[in-house]
Structure 1
């Protein structure tokens, strides 16, 4: 990616909790969003896709693709 580009694209794999429901690493997603906001970007688009695969101890994996747009 060129430095200072108009857009940034990041992919994060969300892992299901071992016990219970929901994602076990939402803080990673939050940190990525906040880090880009600190650099002058806003979240433009987010899409998700289920990989359908299980980890070593179970749990689905969801791939989140985040597109950030530089604020002028």
Structure 2
């Protein structure tokens, strides 16, 4: 089941459906592609960033003193 695969790999339902067009949702046969590469929005990466096209929400916490951001 594609929803179970999406949940296991922590991707969204629509992402896995759009990636696997032509694959039946409830009984997939053959290979299933799991999207795992995402392009980050342009900088500055601070706080909450919403990428509307990807339908993704990113959170960039403030960097600790003397350490690079993550």
Q: TM-score range by the shorter chain?
A: under 0.3
Higher relative contact order (CA 8 A, sep 6+): 1
Please give the TM-score of this superposition, normalised by the length of structure 2: 0.25
Please give the TM-score of this superposition, normalised by the length of structure 1: 0.24
Bigger CA radius of gyration: 2
